[in-house]
Amino acid sequence: MKKVRCLAVILLLVFTASGFAAGAPKTVVLRAMTWDSAEGSAWTRAVFDKFEATHPNIKIELQPMPDGYDDRLLTSLAAGTPPDLFLVWNYPALASLGGLAPLENTGIDFSGINPTLVEWNSYQGHIYGVPKDWTTQVIWYNKKVFDRYNVPYPKPGWTWDDFRNTALKLTHVDDKVWGVALSFDDPYDWQNWFVMGGGDYLSADGKTMKGVFDSPESISVMKFLTDLILVDKVSPSRSLLSASGGTYAMFTSGKLGMIHSGMWLLGYLSSKGLPADDYGAVIVPAPPGKKPVTMMNVSGWAMAAASKHKAEAIEVLKFLALEGGQTQGEAGWAFPVSEKAIKATGLLDNPVTRVFYDSLAYALKSPAFLRTPDYAEKCSQYVSEAFDQILLGKATVEKAMAEAVRKSEKAFGR
């Protein structure tokens, strides 16, 4: 009997140490995929470390995939082996494939997150992502360039004419200085300008570009933007920008007076050791008598519909919603998503970063990519082609935009 009891005790100790004793929680490992580089994902790792400290039975394996992120994610979804959590911005494309789990009835508290951010992480009435962080796009200006040519700094409430005239005053080609860098490589960044001018890329229902992108209002906006390069010549060419090290390099070296960009420029300035007082930011200009409309960059953490650990993944998402992006905000790369976290970082006390927050009130409510799963294939690529045709002198504004609509209609099956 003594031998039997000893054996029982030994077995009990073994099973307890192994985690098989009654009531001992098993450790669940979640996979979280991000498009950030290993260096850029350090802040995400810091957030997950905070979560793991209070949830010892859940471990998060962070998988940075800066190269081929979209293709790798789609492949894993198609194979039925997706990561449990992953970053998303194009919700319509993934939701239409059934790859995302709705989050609105999971107990996640979205009440502390700005409603606009929640809307940008939703599609067709379902919330699919917990916003990670965000930035609006504003006009950055180099104070030294403005001071050099005795040009007043731009102020809120300025108009498109003010923007153009400022760029003209700052342009001194003999000094190799230009008023503004205008890059239309990605039309996403400029949809708000079309909306401000009464036009747009795509119909509200996401079904056609006809009568929208080729409308008189859209044509007028396209002429205004491209004339800044072709007629006013206030922007360096694409080739010159590339040969000079890119937009940021020219801006910080005093060769550009203004650029249209997001809060991530702060990270660049910091990495180069440049004094923040040399630069300012202002909300985008608007047509006379109209309110500005700002473009935004925001992404969120989504949960795979095929995840085998939904309960644990939801616990992570609950934590992320409450943490509110504070860690990322403290790093200075983007704004937190919760009002509580925003106030905790002190970003509202800085006149430059305050501009991004104030711009959120003017953010575009329904970006074109949230109107259809086929935005890239049936809209965006043709808008981009129109910009290229105009800037290369291969077509007039009217012809280029009409051709974009024709190709889009064909892609939509009409």
Q: What pLDDT shows up at residue 14?
A: 43
Cβ atoms 299, 87 nearer than 8 A: yes
Give the per-residue SS3 of the chain: CHHHHHHHHHHHHHHHHCCCCCCCCCCEEEEEEECCCCCCCHHHHHHHHHHHHHCCCEEEEEEECCCCHHHHHHHHHHHCCCCCEEEECCHHHHHHCCCECCCCCCCCCCCCECHHHHHHCEECCEECCEEEEEEECEEEEEHHHHHHCCCCCCCCCCEHHHHHHHHHHHCEHHHCEEEEECCCCCHHHHHHHHHHCCCCCCCCCCCCCCCCCCCHHHHHHHHHHHHHHHCCCCCCCHHHHHHCCCHHHHHHCCCEEEEEECCCHHHHHHHCCCCHHHEEEECCCECCCCCCCECEEEEEEEEECCCCCHHHHHHHHHHHHHHCCHHHHHHCCCECCEHHHHHHHCHHHCHHHHHHHHHHHHECCCCHHHCCCCHHHHHHHHHHHHHHHHHCCCCCHHHHHHHHHHHHHHHCCC
CA atoms within 13 A on the CB side of 353: 21
Strands 28-34 and 58-64: parallel
Q: What pLDDT shows up at residue 9?
A: 46
Q: What pLDDT shows up at residue 269?
A: 84
Q: Which residues of the chain have pLDDT under 50?
A: 1-4, 6-21
Identify the residue whose tokens are 């979280």.
32
Q: What pLDDT shows up at residue 270?
A: 78
Cross-strand bridge partners of residue 364: none
Give the C-alpha separation, 33 to 46, whole Å. 15
Strands 85-88 and 58-64: unpaired
Cβ atoms 131, 120 nearer than 8 A: yes
Give phi and psi for 156, each to the nearest 5.
Answer: -55, 145
Q: What pLDDT shows up at residue 355?
A: 96
Q: For the chain, what's the residue count?
A: 414
Give the C-alpha separation, 316 to 327, whole Å. 15
Give the C-alpha separation, 304 to 103, whole Å. 11
